[in-house]
Amino acid sequence: MTHVPHELSEEFPNKIEIMARLRAENGHFSRLYDEYHDVNRAIHRAETLVEPVAPDAEEELRRRRVRLKDEIWAMIRAAECAESAGG
């Protein structure tokens, strides 16, 4: 356990601007972003024993965070590719 929140701004520090743009323009991205934040916060609260959960539940939250992060990254890359192709 790291006890360190994995905020998206820390995970993708060079992508803050594009994430802000995607949040404003893409409802699906915005929902994923918010869900990631919620799951990430739940993991952090479990790790710090503020809201303990069963080990299996914590592992499932971690897997869910990884899936969300992967999907968010794919959407960032697709947006960057679209920007490169368009201009």
What confidence tens digit (pLDDT) does each residue in 13-42 have? Answer: 999 999 999 999 999 999 999 999 999 999
Residue 27 lies inside a defined structural domain of this protein: yes
Residue 3 lies inside a defined structural domain of this protein: no
Residue 71 lies inside a defined structural domain of this protein: yes
Residue 77 lies inside a defined structural domain of this protein: yes
CA 49 to CA 55: how far, in whole Å? 12
CA 37 to CA 84: how far, in whole Å? 28
Residue 2 lies inside a defined structural domain of this protein: no
CA 37 to CA 42: how far, in whole Å? 9
CA of 37: how far to CAs of 29, 60, 81, 86, in Å? 12, 15, 25, 31
Alpha helices in the chain (DSSP H): 8-11, 16-25, 27-47, 55-86
Number of domains making up the chain: 1
> Tens of pLDDT along 38-62?
999 999 999 999 999 999 999 999 9
Q: What is the pTM of this model?
A: 0.90
Residue 1 lies inside a defined structural domain of this protein: no
Domain that includes residue 81, residue range: 8-86
